Amino acid sequence: MLCYALGFVSGLIFLAVEKNSRFVKFHALQSTLLFGSLFIINVAFSFIPLIGWLLNLLLVPLSFVCWIACMLLALQERKFMVPFIGPIADRESARF
């Protein structure tokens, strides 16, 4: 659950610290990829007048819902894979 606490920052911290648990590495990598991508998209939208602001109005609540869902599912020790990002995180967490 802590892998999601501070978005991609906590994911990076847990990637650097955790050496044994594949479950923790998976969630840390998924957090880093998901919230890092959402952060980059948010910044990109901020440069687009009006439409970017409107798209950010949709992106921010979606990010919040993803954040809460990922934390709760990790707390339940479930390996929930976010579409597109989850399979990448699963494959790459096996390589660490």
74-80 — which CB contacts under 8 Å span 24+ positions? Answer: 74/1, 74/3, 74/4, 74/27, 75/1, 77/23, 79/23, 79/26
Q: How confident is the model at residue 19 (pLDDT cuts 50, 70, 90)?
A: confident
Stated as kind and residue range, the H or E segment containing 83 is: none
Alpha carbons 56 and 63: distance in angstroms, whole number: 10
CB 32 within 8 A of CB 8: yes
Q: Where are the domains of the chain?
A: 2-95
Which pLDDT score is estimated for 39? 94
Evaluate whether 14 touches 29 at the Cβ level (below 8 Å): no
Residue 68 CB neighbours (<10 A):
11
At 32-43, the pLDDT tens digits run: 999 999 999 999
